[in-house]
């Protein structure tokens, strides 16, 4: 199984959440979007445990099963398709989450998340914790 962790799923995993730990353990490939990485770095910078959070993230990223996905022209095409569909349905979600969903769509990944609003994105399969 190939997965894309969003910020909430990564945080749940780092807190020791059983369901997210099982999903991560069983995954062949674990991806993070560059947007998620930015959110994690911003959260760490504002938190009281910045050095610990940075260290844990660096260790997580060093795993050979983990890779960070860049945003490119194909990602923007997926973003556009998702955004238009959400507009038409009248079901907006946060902009960063559309970019994260676009990465999942582009790379054919299952999105692991703690946010139910990803279920509104018809173009992806989401696993809600």
CB atoms within 10 A of CB 67: 13
What is the overall mean pLDDT for the chain? 96
**Does the pLDDT value for residue 56 go beyond 90?**
yes
* Nearest partner of 56 among 66, 64, 65, 44, judged by Cα: 44
**Does the pLDDT value for residue 48 go beyond 90?**
no
**Does the pLDDT value for residue 44 go beyond 90?**
no
For the stretch 105-123, pLDDT in tens is: 999 999 999 999 999 999 9
For the stretch 75-95, pLDDT in tens is: 999 999 999 999 999 999 999
Domains in the chain, start-ordered, CATH in brackets? 2-128 (3.40.50.1010)
Contacts for 34 with CB less than 8 Å, ≥ 6 apart: 68, 69, 70, 71, 103
């Amino acid at each position: 199984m190939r997965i894309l962790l969003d910020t909430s799923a990564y945080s749940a995993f780092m807190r020791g959440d059983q369901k997210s730990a099982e999903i991560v353990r069983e995954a062949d490939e674990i991806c993070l979007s560059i947007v998620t990485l930015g959110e994690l770095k911003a959260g760490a910078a504002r938190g009281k445990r910045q050095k610990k959070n940075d260290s844990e993230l660096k260790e997580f990223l060093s795993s050979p099963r983990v890779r960070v996905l860049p945003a490119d022209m194909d990602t923007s095409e997926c973003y556009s398709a998702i955004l238009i569909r959400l507009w038409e349905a009248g079901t907006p979600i946060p902009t960063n989450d559309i970019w994260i969903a676009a990465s999942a769509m582009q790379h054919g990944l299952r999105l692991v998340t703690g946010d139910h609003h990803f279920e509104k994105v018809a173009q992806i399969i989401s696993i809600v914790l």
